[in-house]
Amino acid sequence: MGLNIKLMPQEEELDFMPIIPLNEGDEENGEKIVIPEEIPLLPLRNTVLFPGVVIPITVGRDKSIKAIEEAYKTDKLVGVLSQKDSNIEDPGVSDLVGVGTVAKIVKLIKMPDGGTTAILQGKKRFQLLRISSEDPFFKGAVLALEEQIVKDDQAFQASVASIKDLAAQIIQLSPNIPTEASIILRNIENPAFLIHFVGSNLNCELIEKQSLLEMNDMRQRAELLLKLLQKELQFVELKNKVTTKTKTELDKQQREYFLQQQLKSIKEELGGDSNDREIQEMKKKAESKKWSSAAKELFQKEIEKLERMHPSTPDYSTVYNHVDLMLDLPWDDCTKDSYDLKKAKKVLDKDHYGMEKIKERILEYLAVLKLKGDMKSPILCFVGPPGIGKTSLGKSIASAIGRKYVRFSLGGLHDESEIRGHRKTYIGAMPGRILQSIRKVKSSNPVMILDEIDKVGKDFRGDPSSALLEVLDPEQNNTFYDNYLELEYDLSRVLFIATANDMQSIQPALRDRLEIIDLTGYAVEEKEKIAQTHLLPKQKELHGLKDYDLKMNQQVMTYLIENYTRESGVRELDRQIASIMRSYAKDVAIKGKVKSNITQNDVTRILGRPKYSNEMYKTANMPGVAVGLAWTYVGGDILFIETTLSEGKGDLQLTGNLGTVMKESASTAFTYLQANAKKVGIDAEMFKKKNIHIHVPEGAVPKDGPSAGITMMTALASAFTGRKIKPFLAMTGEITLRGQVLPVGGIKEKVLAAKRAGLKEIILCCQNEKDVQEINAEFIKGMRFHYVKTMQQVLELALV
């Protein structure tokens, strides 16, 4: 019943403890209590005394003590009234309510501390008529109020029964009320006393209890009490529900805590908590780390956070992985460079044939390191056709200077988070590939190959090439910021080597940060050396023929290269040698022996008839057909320009899957010939009467670029004049309407393609002479070069 129990509350206190009376009525020993006209009055704070109810009070105020003592000396009757305002310490006449209860002082007890405790039993309600005296205590004239006896009223009896039920429910739900209280309730038979007893114990406002006391009609009093009990029951049920829910949550937490403590005790018995051991090991590992103050501060902060967290919390693994990354990164740990330039050159020469320009650049870098002791690593970019050894050259450089080697491919990369990392709050977050690679090799100065940098993706998902700007800028990469690490990391000591096939595909801002080193295709002589030195021994070992003395002389190797491969690199050559080795391995497995020398007939038997032939260039000697030189991403190539005339109105038709620039070159050549017909020896009327058709074979292959300009003009001049073009002659160069010949690129690839095709002479722009001089003279032995400035010179050289 929502009661806060105190054993002996003062008369001004809210809390009280009713005591069960010896009888339930207002009679004592069978005699009616006689109430005098004037009785001492006792004001109480926060308490309403009902007839029949017994309460103990500790009397503290002087007036109250005197009133109690005076009444105890006479008939022991005192009028108990409630104060309207419980905060008033010394109430006046106007502060008292008009209806109270006459109480009998059952017992008066003097306490050791000097206070007085009185046990009062309510007897009868009274109406205060007037105050007759205020000093030394309140005394007033009262009128006793008789209780109405309700008989044979079923509605009233039902109300009384409901009061008992509701009170019993409240007792059941209230843990602070003893269960004996429900037994007492069941044994109360007097309806009036039941209402008074329950009302006295009800946890409600003082004004509501006072209203209950002032009601003369017992039925109305029962109805009001029912309403108050319903309200109290709802409150107790809600309170009980909240308490049960809170207790359940606490019980779950207590259970988990208890289990965790048990687990901790078990782990300690087995040799300590593994998580604690790991954290201690991390701290010990951190002591030997050479890192910046910012990194040290962040590590300390993260490790403290880790110590406060429970291993089962979701964030524990996030923080743990972050700390683990910080410890795994090498920071200032670097490998010592080998400054032996002779040894480095020897390693480079052993692994790769040719490539003098790159080898020279690496040796220069080592020389500066040797003299200065420290320098920002260059950002190199090897550009060249596939299969010439760009990627493997990076590994060779790492070996030559004594550094760790790491490679990752940028081909098809489309998310900049692959470079900079994800923020560690994301599920599955990881550091970027740069830091992952450095973590793997455990060195801050590795040789890092960024393979296929020209094939980085760019779409709605991101632009990794923009993220690479920071990585590949020597002025910025000493403070590279990874989103996962949340710290700056120094990449300035990393030797970055990018590889690409096509420079045009690289973003201009990124291209500006790279030191471009062009790698051209191999000549037949170079391929022959590479095959004899590297490819043949490698394939023998791969096919289990290392112990067999298999040889291929220079003539047979050259036959293999010229007739079965058309490439700048050596990948196709490597595959052809592998095919020959597989055939020999089969012979060894079946016959148990094999002949040592591989002949030309053996090559033809194993690989079939030659795939490529130079005969086509010998049979192309007719007017209107010129041989041009083209550059492709796989190296140089030969292309024919065919021109034919037919009766018509002077229309120009172009076929062969030509690009815009190539079509414009054809139009320029045609216009130049029309403007200079007399000089060339062409009848001007032919341009009006003949239709011109220019075709470039291999129509399925897209072709574009200005370098076929002089070839087209020569083919047109040949067709119009009927003069043949000199056999075994190729040419490349751009033309202008003024008849000037301009330089073009890819000269080495084009010259080597012409050499492979068996051509003897090449016409080039005079400004391309420097490019030819860079080619090893041994590779172009027997070839003749003509350097021109104007189209007139081209026609003089080309037409027979």
Q: Which of 124, 139, 750, 755 is the catalytic position? A: 750
DSSP 8-state secondary structure symbol assigned to residue 454: G
Q: Where are the beta strands (DSSP E) in 111-233?
A: 116-133, 139-145
Q: Is the dihedral of CA 45, 46, 52, 55 positive or negative?
A: negative
Q: What is the DSSP letter of 238?
A: H
Tell me the DSSP string of 636-665.
Answer: EEEEEEEEEEEESSS-EEEESSB-HHHHHH
The dihedral of CA 309, 315, 320, 323: what is its sign? negative
Contact 761, 628 (CB under 8 A): no
Going by C-alpha positions, the residue among 752, 717, 738 that lies closest to residue 790 is: 738
Distance CA 308, CA 267 (A): 18
Question: How much of the chain is in helix, strand and coil states, percent to nearest 5?
Answer: 45, 20, 35
- Asked whether 57 and 128 are in contact (CB, 8 A), the reply is no
Token representation of residue 417: 């988070």
Q: Please report, to the nearest 10 degrees, the dihedral formed by the alpha carbons of residues 675, 681, 686, 690 taken in order.
A: -100
| Residues pairing with 451 in the sheet | 409
The CA angle 414-420-423, to the nearest 5 degrees, is 105
- DSSP symbols for 485-516: TTEEE--TTSEEEEEES-GGGS-HHHHHTSEE
707 as an active site residue: the answer is yes
Contact status, residue 170 vs residue 1, Cβ threshold 8 Å = yes
Q: For residues 33 and 6, give the distance between their C-alpha atoms in angstroms, rounded to a whole number.
A: 30
**Segments of 400-453 assigned E as strands:** 405-409, 447-451
Q: Which two tokens stand for residue 500?
A: 């690409």
Q: Tell me how far apart the alpha carbons of residues 383 and 635 are, in angstroms, rounded to a whole number.
A: 12
d(CA 34, CA 27): 10
Q: Which of 251, 249, 231, 250 is nearest to 239 (CA)?
A: 231
Q: Which helix (H) or strand (E) holds 347?
A: helix 341-351
The amino acid at residue 433 is: R
Cβ atoms within 10 Å, residue 138: 25
Tell me the CB-side half-sphere exposure of residue 320, using CA atoms within 13 A. Answer: 17
CB atoms within 10 A of CB 276: 14
Catalytic residue among 703, 707, 718, 755: 707
252 in active site: no
Residues with a catalytic annotation lie at 707, 750
